[in-house]
Amino acid sequence: MKNVMSLVDLQREEAYIKELTQDRPIASLPFAGRYRLVDFALSSMVTSGIRNVGVLLPENKARSILDHLRSGKDWDLARHHKGLFYLPPVRPENGEKASDLRNIYYNLNFVENSNEEYVLLARATSVYNIDFTKVLKFHIDNGADVTVVTSKAWHSDPCSGLIVEPGENGRIRDAAIKPELKEGEYRSLGIFLMSKELFCNVVRYAFEHGGTDFRRDAILKQATGLKFYTYIHDGFAARICSTPAFYLSNLKMLDQSVWEELFMKENAPIITKVKDMSPTEYKEGANVKNSLIANGCEIHGTVENSVIFRNVTVAPGAVIRNSVVMEDCVLEAQAEIEYVITDKEVTITQGKRLRGAVNFPVMIGKHVTI
Amino acid sequence: MKTRCLAMILAGGQGSRLGVLTAKVAKPAVPFGGKYRIIDFPLSNCAHSGIERVGVLTQYRPFELNNYLGNGNAWDLDGRGGGVFILPPYARAKGADWYSGTADAIYQNLNFIEMSDPDYVLILSGDHIYAMDYSKMLDAHIAKGAEATIGVIRVPMEEASRFGILDAEADGRITRFTEKPAQPTSDLASMGIYIFTKDFLRDYLVEDAKREDSSHDFGKDIIPKMLADGAKLYSYSFDGYWKDVGTIESLWQANMDFLADEPPLDTGGTWRIHSANPALPPHYIGPEAEVSHALLNEGAVVLGSVAHSVISSGVRIGKGAKVTDSVVMPFAVIEDGAVVDHAILGPHTRVAANAKVKGTPDSIAVTGENEVVEAAG
């Protein structure tokens, strides 16, 4: 993969996941107990052998990303030669709007000055562990101009997305941005591979002709005449574009085969910022079933069918069911939650009870005490 | 380059009392507490104490330890001028020798010490579990104008004959030091932690190296000689948790100590114990699992039951398997229906379905790295 450079795009926002992304880009969303979404794209890049990674920072809300990635050391990207590059947005002028395409356009220098032959662009909004060397081989074997990585959706979703209709050998018959996504459709994971030359050309043309959206203006509108292919990832993938998708995908981590495939792949771990939390303490009365539990927790109560992030305290008699509980939350004695997502540093005080529903989990924002 | 205080960790011992656990690795590399290795404790203590340059003296089975330490990055010891330096015995013009004693090991690395140019040298051992701020001990060393300061801890009188025991005046000035005395005269035990003013240490090491009758050991030779010469030796008292994990029973007991309602050290707190970890996901507890009084680390999968045990990274515990009062080291696999009780399972041990590994509180069962335990008959 020495001949592939990559861009991680953090600019785009999603309308259906507002509560969780008020203070952070989607890429910073905590996931599966100890990760942030950006870890999946970045780890796949690094374990596939990509060593030149540009991170397109969002217009605002970049703090959590900078704090998470820092020098890139945890991903072996703090290097003298190549490594991790932060590509900051350029302030819009003359009534222009911030957009992912604009962000890429104003950072094209970074792409052009790199000596790799191919560019892999990934939006850090999906969960996967993909070997990109296979995507490159697919791209080359098919003589493709553009390859988009897709996967078959395992649930419907209210948010819009790029859907493709794959033909023989992965050649795309039709591709469209649909307002809603349905189970079984081949949905883009936001990963595009093409030659550096073509990448620069389509970005430049699209932006200079008034474009704002990379997918629509640089890819779909210019796809005619191009050999447009899709690499269908047949392993687990989840696109996190709505709060229900966030909830369902987290709970999907309780499927042991998904957990194994994503996280225990030989030589291809999902890497994240190291915090050196101590192992989790299970105390007298702990009753934990079918749950994913991160380090640094102290559990006296009951946890079922849930994902528990780092440094969570579950006091005696407290109960967590079918919930996603993020870092540094505290459930005091006899507190009970079911079908709930708690953002970081939430405290549920003694005896309080909260219950959502499977299709409508209750969302509790950062730092809230109930 | 100038260093204020250089730490030297004696990590060369075979640790033969740990039996099969050290058949393939040096004692400081033995896993501890579900997540750590023994050497994480002195290394983290150094990093938190502001000591940035650390020599690690290895000679027995050094590869895994070397591989684990890397450049010291995991402990934030990879700064400019700092670093973790692996110091194996090496050949010089006169030939090569193994380290023949603790003092000899330091003596053979005097060149490294001079290159680091420290004012003080802190000597540590790689087989204790504790959290200690060495900078306070160094402050005391300087304040007293000491030439040597020995870290001491009070031990039960009946155990005192296992340690180096010293007598000290009210101000800490050491008057007598006896290595493993049959009739101990005090309960002040040496922790094997020494701070020496560098030039003072060098002179004694050079002198000791010439002596044919010396065993080249700090406790047996260097410290008694310093005392005999009337040098300024002071004790520095430490009263926190400090556990030698040099035997199977003490290693097991120290692990069990961390299962207490209030663990003896807050390894995840402000004095965080750092370790070089594989990237593993949160652990998974299955639908029929039962876990209580346990420590569980990342990457583990528990489908059976765990009580009063320490479960390390990547361990698999199958359906119906029962683990009680045990320490399960990284990536051990306990298959369905197996029973593990009062045991230490070495890394990558496999206990086959329905097999049993059973010890007793007085005799802990142990399996070595990669050992396979099949079901009887």
Give the pLDDT confidence of A279-334 residue by residue, as tens digits. 999 999 999 999 999 999 999 999 999 999 999 999 999 999 999 999 999 999 99
Give the model confidence (pLDDT) of B49-60 as tens digits: 999 999 999 887
A73, A203: one domain: yes
Question: Position of tokens 């650390």?
Answer: B54
DSSP B30-74: SEETTTEETTHHHHHHHHHTT--EEEEE--SS-HHHHHHHTTSGG
* Residue B17 to residues B245, B251, B343, Cα–Cα distance (Å): 10, 11, 16
State the alpha helices, DSSP H only, in A194-330. 196-208, 243-252, 256-263
Q: Do A34 and B298 touch (CB under 8 A)?
A: yes
In a domain, A356, yes or no: yes
Domain that holds residue A198: 4-263
Spatial distance between the Cα atoms of A361 and A44, rounded to a whole number of angstroms: 30
Mean of per-residue pLDDT scores for chain B: 92
Mean pLDDT of all residues in B109-129: 94
Lowest-confidence pick of A124-138, A230-244, B72-86, B351-365: B72-86
pLDDT at B90: 74
Q: Give kind and range of the element (H or E) at residue B197.
A: strand B188-197
Q: Give the confidence band of B288 by pLDDT, cuts at 50, 70, 90.
A: very high
Q: What 3-state DSSP class applies to B178?
A: strand
Give the model confidence (pLDDT) of A122-167 as tens digits: 999 999 999 999 999 999 999 999 999 999 999 998 888 999 999 9
Q: Which amino acid is at B268?
A: G
Spatial distance between the Cα atoms of A297 and A278, rounded to a whole number of angstroms: 8
Give the model confidence (pLDDT) of B305-316 as tens digits: 999 999 999 999
Does position B338 have pLDDT exceeding 90, yes or no?
Answer: yes
A212, A299: one domain: no
Name the residue facing B283 among A281, A289, A293 (closest C-beta). A293
B274 at the A interface (CB within 8 A)?
yes
A179, A231: one domain: yes
In a domain, A269, yes or no: no
Q: Are A361 and A247 in contact (CB under 8 A)?
A: yes
More reliable by pLDDT, B248 or B21: B248
Spatial distance between the Cα atoms of B151 and B182, rounded to a whole number of angstroms: 21
For residue A369, the 8-state DSSP code is B
Among residues A228, A263, A298, the one where a domain terminates is: A263
Mean pLDDT of all residues in B14-29: 80
Does position A16 have pLDDT exceeding 80, yes or no?
Answer: no
Name the residue facing A276 among B73, B272, B282 (closest C-beta). B272
pLDDT at B255: 97
Cβ neighbors of B313 (< 8 A, separation 6 or more) are B34, B35, B277, B278, B280, B297, B298, B299, B300, B330, B331
In a domain, A274, yes or no: no
A214, A252: one domain: yes
In a domain, A268, yes or no: no
Does position A247 have pLDDT exceeding 90, yes or no?
Answer: yes
pLDDT at B278: 84
A112, A249: one domain: yes
Name the residue facing A34 among B272, B282, B294 (closest C-beta). B282
Q: Are B124 and B47 in contact (CB under 8 A)?
A: no
A252, A287: one domain: no
Lowest-confidence pick of A17-26, A278-287, B43-52, B108-117: A17-26
- Using a pLDDT cut of 90, give the percent of chain A over it: 83
Mean pLDDT of all residues in B50-76: 87
Tell me which residue of B291, B309, B300 sits closest to B359, measured CA to CA.
Answer: B309
Chain B residue with minimum CA distance to A279:
B297
The complex's ipTM works out to 0.90
Query: In chain B, which residues have their Cβ closer than 8 Å to the Cβ of A285?
Result: 292
Spatial distance between the Cα atoms of B106 and B8, rounded to a whole number of angstroms: 8
A82, A219: one domain: yes
Tell me which residue of A363, A366, A311, A323 sits closest to A34, measured CA to CA.
Answer: A311
Q: Give the confidence band of B146 by pLDDT, cuts at 50, 70, 90.
A: very high
Mean pLDDT of all residues in B243-257: 93
Residues 24-63 of B with CB under 8 A from A: 33-35
Tell me which residue of A216, B36, A87 sits closest to B44, measured CA to CA.
Answer: B36
In a domain, A253, yes or no: yes
Q: Could you tell me where the beta strands, DSSP code E, fall in B141-262?
A: 148-154, 164-168, 174-179, 188-197, 233-237, 242-244
Query: In chain B, which residues have their Cβ closer than 8 Å to the Cβ of A35?
Result: 281
In a domain, A88, yes or no: yes
A92, A187: one domain: yes
Q: Give the confidence band of B81 by pLDDT, cuts at 50, 70, 90.
A: confident
In a domain, A234, yes or no: yes
Residues 309-338 of B with CB under 8 A from A: 310-311
pLDDT at B21: 83
- Using a pLDDT cut of 70, give the percent of chain B over it: 97
Among residues A203, A234, A263, the one where a domain terminates is: A263
pTM over 0.95: no
Both tokens of residue A301? 């109560």
Query: In chain A, which residues have their Cβ closer than 8 Å to the Cβ of B278?
Result: 269
pLDDT at B377: 66
Does position A187 have pLDDT exceeding 70, yes or no?
Answer: yes
Mean of per-residue pLDDT scores for chain A: 94
In a domain, A276, yes or no: no
Does position B91 have pLDDT exceeding 90, yes or no?
Answer: no
Name the residue facing A256 among B273, B297, B301 (closest C-beta). B301
A9, A154: one domain: yes
Does position A22 have pLDDT exceeding 70, yes or no?
Answer: yes
Kind of pairing, strands B174-179 and B164-168?
antiparallel
pLDDT at A12: 67
- Using a pLDDT cut of 70, give the percent of chain A over it: 99
Chain A residue with minimum CA distance to B32:
A279
Report the CATH number that the domain containing residue A59 is assigned in CATH: 3.90.550.10
Region of B109 please: left (phi>0), alpha (psi -120 to 50) or beta.
Answer: alpha
Q: Give the confidence band of B237 by pLDDT, cuts at 50, 70, 90.
A: very high
pLDDT at B14: 65
Both tokens of residue B279? 């990237």
Name the residue facing A272 among B279, B284, B311 (closest C-beta). B279
Report the CATH number that the domain containing residue A358 is assigned in CATH: 2.160.10.10
Question: Position of tokens 């005091």?
Answer: A332
pLDDT at B59: 81
A293 at the B interface (CB within 8 A)?
yes
A77, A112: one domain: yes
Count: domains in chain A: 2
B361 at the A interface (CB within 8 A)?
no
Dihedral of CA B294/A296/B277/B270: which sign? negative
A232, A301: one domain: no
Give the model confidence (pLDDT) of A73-107 as tens digits: 999 999 989 999 999 988 888 777 888 999 999 99
A279 at the B interface (CB within 8 A)?
yes
Spatial distance between the Cα atoms of B73 and A306, rounded to a whole number of angstroms: 34
Residues 27-46 of A with CB under 8 A from B: 32-35, 43
Spatial distance between the Cα atoms of A151 and A238, rounded to a whole number of angstroms: 9
A123, A248: one domain: yes
Among residues A263, A298, A328, the one where a domain terminates is: A263
